[in-house]
Amino acid sequence: MDDGNLFIEPPFSAEGEVFDTLLETPSFKLEKILSSGQASPAGQWYDQDTNEWVVLLRGSAGLLFEGETTARVLGPGDHLLIPAHCRHRVEWTDPKVKTVWLALHYRSSWAPG
5-64 residue pLDDT tens: 777 776 555 677 888 999 999 989 999 999 999 999 999 999 999 999 999 999 999 999
Phi first, then psi: what are they for 61, rounded to 5°? -160, 160
Ordered domains of the chain (ranges, CATH): 18-106 (2.60.120.10)
* Mean pLDDT for all residues in the chain: 89
DSSP per residue over 58-85, as a string? Answer: ES-EEEEETT-SSPEEE-TT-EEEE-TT
Residue pLDDT, tens place only, 65-110: 999 999 999 999 999 999 999 999 999 999 999 999 999 999 876 5
98, 34 contact by CB (below 8 A): yes
Q: What global pTM score does this model have?
A: 0.84
